[in-house]
Structure 1
């Protein structure tokens, strides 16, 4: 989302701030969440292949902002009229915590366990930093345990690096709940203020354009989250009504053309805006895409509702949280096999102008990408089935006891 952003599934039937019933789950947006999670995985995977070196994949860190916009849309659509009592706020906080924290805790334990193995087995040290140093130290571990790694408490990305976004998003959840609890129907004014001031802040203070995480990650998250919340605040019910009309209509061509144009706009924008200030417009672009695809009116939307795409959507949070560990262990394993068989499977490469250790160009890099995606999806299914799903059920059950 995030499932936090990306990172929290929409409820089947919701009551919005207008008091009306707003329809079923936004399935196409779920599928987009899965696609974006895979794009983040591709962005992080070091190969010298044409895919990894392309401008689109090289700037795909921007799709994290889609997670934030979607999260604001889903959360506001579900909870804008359900946070008027302290007990409701407490239940909301508990459910959101249960949505993101169990898998985050598991991955922290997995990363920490591997560092312990590196400490006990010198053969695993490699040429990198010593165990429990440089982003894997115990101080940073505490910050990650407290979900502080994305709100300015760290000076670098640490442990499971992508988790900075769930840190930022969790505190966006709490701020949303507090604002709605205090301001009620006027909460939208605060979201407008955040959506206006956050990009101005990034323009003024970010030295890496939209590529902020551990430092200004919360500001970045609040920007997209607020846009999504405003979209839900004023358009949720009209979108739901339009979807019901479109479901009964066979006139899909105009919507299909609009969806094709929107996909092209996203590809061009991401490809061109990753290394300049235009990237700060990413939440605006993704808010427009969310508005369009929430209607589910075209044939691209129809393709995004096939079972495989919906499965990717369900697995998106796990994909986002496990992919970095899967990739690192793939590199370890390929290096070991390469040494045993005298093959150059991994080595020093240049990735987007920076030195890295990864897979080579040509067939080796492409095959590695396919294996990485398959392995990430497989591991994600396991964590979704045995961690995410039971944890969500338990926390929702406990929230009802409040």
Structure 2
């Protein structure tokens, strides 16, 4: 049994994750901010989250599981980390529906339906029926958290089988399935509805296990990337995050090619850059803050958006009145 080594904190990756979370929030709030979409490709932030998660989970838990951490312990730690804020967001969504029932009679929802959405939401059970615009209607952004938990469970359950060779095959197969799914859909923006939930599996599998593979391969490539230890590479990677999210290719073929290139080439390069390059001391606290707010911001912002939009509808104030 190897002794646990002090765990390195990847503040640069925290910063990238924080910027991605803010980008998603701006994307969803864009009807209130500007005509059209702000950062129209920021739905790809989910793929960046999965990639970062795979890297960080491998960094944090590979050695611990090798040293005897059980599946139940791992899962409990992950649920303690993720569930409280998820539950808060779900309860906010329920609060929104209850208040809307009082204020907007034309959109009244039976209490039995609200109870169904609350119960399934609290138990992480997706609603896949055609009547639902997303698999977790009380907190729409949590669809990605559902897939995050699935892939976390898979990582721990088959940990002993996840050699680098197996990871490479798993990533390659997931990419092939992802190419097929995105070609059929004309985009990579899927997984959040009942009709596309199956396509979400290769989406999370590709990025998460690629992140695990990148983490486990650090020793083989970081020495050859010494140039990343000088200059402003991290800041360039953060800027590149915003550039990727800001571009909106025309046409389905261009959209698919752009999405796949972003998740298979650009995002891995960004993560490697963030992992290898040092953190500027004057930015360390700010990067740490970005990392701390990223998950709360992501998992709470959609029910807050629903509440704001509902308030606008009740008051018939544009642009809220026309928001879905």
Question: Normalising to structure 1: TM-score of the pair?
Answer: 0.65
Q: Highest relative contact order (Cα 8 Å, sep 6+), 1 or 2?
A: 2
CA drift of 1:262 comes to 7.4
> Is contact 1:259–1:293 with CA below 8 Å preserved after alignment?
no
Residue in 1 that maps onto 2:236: 260
Following the alignment from structure 1 to structure 2, what is the Cα–Cα distance between the partners of residues 234 and 318?
Answer: 30
Match of 1:34 in 2: 18
2:170 equivalent in structure 1: 194
| C-alpha distance after superposition, 1:192-244 (max 9, x if no partner) | 2221112211222341421112312232111100110000111168659989x
Aligned partner of residue 70 in structure 2, secondary structure: helix
Match of 2:276 in 1: 295
CA contact (8 A) 1:20 1:237 kept: no
Matched, 1:233 2:232: no
SS of equivalent residue, structure 1 residue 305 = helix
Counterpart among 303, 307, 316 of residue 329 in structure 1: 307
Are residues 258 and 104 of structure 1, via their aligned partners in 2, closer, same or farther at CA, if it must alter by over 3 Å?
Answer: closer
How far did 1:280 drift? 2.5
| Residue matched to 1:89 | 71
Alpha-carbon distance between aligned partners in 2 of 1:173 and 1:281, rounded to the nearest angstrom = 25
Kindly indicate whether the alpha-carbon contact (under 8 Å) linking 2:7 and 2:60 is maintained by their aligned counterparts in 1. no
Give unmatched runs, 5+ long, in structure 1.
Answer: 1-14, 247-251, 349-355, 358-402
Superposed structure 1 runs of 4+ greater than 6 Å apart: 240-243
Of the three residues 297, 312, 320, the one matched with 1:319 is: 297
Aligned equivalents of 1:312, 1:205: Cα separation in 2: 33
Q: TM-score, normalised by structure 2?
A: 0.79
User: Bigger CA drift: 31-40 or 260-269?
Assistant: 260-269
Which among 177, 184, 187 is matched to residue 156 of structure 2?
Answer: 177
Counterpart contact for 2:15–2:288, Cα < 8 Å: yes
Change (3 A) 1:208 1:221: same
Quote the residue 1:384 is aligned against. none
State the distance in 2 between where 1:131 and 1:46 align: 30
Count the aligned residue pairs: 306
**Structure 1 residues 105 and 42, CA, compared in 2 at 3 Å: closer, same or farther?**
same
**Counterpart secondary structure, 2:187:** coil
Say if 1:331 and 1:139 are closer, same or farther in 2 by CA, change over 3 A: closer
Contact 2:88-2:300 within 8 A present in 1 as well: no
Counterpart in 2 of 1:369?
none
> Aligned in 2, Cα 1:220/1:174: closer, same or farther, shift over 3 Å?
same
Matches within 5 A, 1:280-291: 280-284=260-264, 285-291=266-272
In 2, distance between residues paired with 1:292 and 1:203?
Answer: 25
* Partner Cα distance (1:257, 1:166) in 2: 30
Shift of 1:292: 0.6
TM-superposed deviation, 1:130: 3.2
Residue among 128, 142, 146 paired with 2:123: 146
Which has a greater percent of helix?
2
Q: Once superposed, what is the RMSD of the aligned Cα atoms?
A: 3.5
Change (3 A) 1:202 1:96: same
Shift in alpha-carbon separation, 1:347–1:333, aligned structure 2, 3 A: closer
Check 1:208–1:94 CA distance in 2 against 1; reply closer, same or farther (3 A cut). farther
Q: Structure 1 residue 106: deviation in Å?
A: 2.1
CA deviation string 1:313-346 (max 9, x = no partner): 201111001111222222333455x65xxx7564
